[in-house]
Amino acid sequence: MKHAFPQPIHHQWLGLLSISAILVGMLLSDATMSIGMIALIGNAVLNWDVGALFRRFLRNKALLGLTGIFLIYLISGLWSENTVFFLRRLRLTLPFFILPFGILSIPRFDRSVYFSLLYGFFWIMAIMCLYSLSLYVRDYEQITELYKRGQVMPTPVMHIRFSLMVAYCVAIGWYLFTERFYWRFPWERYLLLGSSAFLVVYLHVLAVRSGLLALYGVLLFFLLHAMVKYKKYRIGLVAVIGLALGVWLAFRYVPTLKNKIGYTRYSINLFLKRENLEELSDSYRLGSILAGLELGRQHPLTGVGIGDIREECDVYFQQHLPALVGQGLMPHNQYLFILAATGFPGLLYFIWATFYPLFYRRSYRNLLIAAFYIIAISSFMVEHTLETQLGLAFYLVFVLMGIRFQDEMAENGKT
């Protein structure tokens, strides 16, 4: 009897092709990203051993926890009146329901597989950053001037999510360098290190605050980790001071960064005066956070429901910030978004489900996984990261890859 996929090697390559499609799609095509997700779950379902995969899934608390995030969104539909918007949000969060199971369809996820995927993603990102920077250099004066009005240089995808991916690639570059990984030639490691330094510079020229916050968190973490690991406290202290000095110099002399800081001060000042709110992106962010706090206070047990969160924010704006009504805003903080939509029970579950993979098989001891969580948490504090297809894919795919890698290491007795 012929099976759908009789050889495990087929599942291996189909699974890796699916992951690769998602990673490439995050930068080039939403359709490619969606196709990769569908192919990954298909690789699991159209598997002769799907029953064994499902039993393995049920034993994995980290994967089950992430799947449960979809369920808290689903349950909030019971008290959501706007069914159309609820279904739209639910469709967006569907990857939480399918990808944790789908990732198990890849039979082998060892060091060579995991590192190769990271390595490929790093170089795609480096090329994209180089292209973005070339566009800036080509129209230097005009784009620099745009930063005074809160705009940024051209990027392949939404600049906030892109900056987070750049920050993560800095972490990937350093991690793979320290792990002595390369595809073919040993000198690739130094090219990797040099390209990581380029990405640090690029992030400062790009001047997106979310990306810079994530970058500084990761760099500080790496420095403190090295200080403790090698007990070089004096050298580490000098390095921390050097990092602070470098940040100060960048803020003072990088023109795009200077203009972005000026715009931020200007917009916050106008927000405090309640002037020109509809024209300032920072007003949207600050106003939506105030709305999220108020909705959480008014509906602590159930929230307002995922389907009604946008309309309820408008009700708050109508009373307190009329200029922001009709902008389609939701709380620009992932934790406040969950609180406002699902209440404190939903928030507590969300915090557990998103933090548990960090402690699963002591993943916090892995430098890259810990760095990714610094990036994710810093993003959650200032953005509703998971409420866009790109943000959700970025978070979920790399968390799932980390879980599978830790499982593989444990099965091989290497953790």
With a cut of 90, say whether residue 270 has pLDDT above it: no
Q: How far is Cα 184 from Cα 413, in angstroms, rounded to an integer?
A: 27
With a cut of 70, say whether residue 415 has pLDDT above it: no
* Mean pLDDT value of segment 1-8: 45
Q: What is the pLDDT of residues 121-178, one digit of tens each?
A: 999 999 999 999 999 999 999 999 988 888 899 999 999 999 999 999 999 999 999 9
Confidence of residue 412 (pLDDT cuts 50, 70, 90): confident
Contact 155, 131 (CB under 8 A): no
Q: What is the pLDDT of residues 296-351, one digit of tens each?
A: 999 999 999 999 999 999 999 999 999 899 999 999 999 999 999 999 999 999 99
Please give the mean pLDDT across all residues of the chain: 93
> Quick one: 249 exposed, middle or buried, by C-beta within 10 A (0-12, 13-18, 19+)?
exposed
Percent of the chain with pLDDT over 70: 96
Domain ranges of the chain: 8-411
pTM: 0.94
Q: How far is Cα 268 from Cα 91, in angstroms, rounded to an integer?
A: 35
| Per-position DSSP letters for 63-90, written without gaps between them | HHHHHHHHHHHHHGGGG-S-HHHHHHHH
Q: What is the pLDDT of residues 244-261, one digit of tens each?
A: 898 898 888 899 998 888
Q: What is the pLDDT of residues 27-55, one digit of tens each?
A: 999 999 999 999 999 999 999 999 999 99
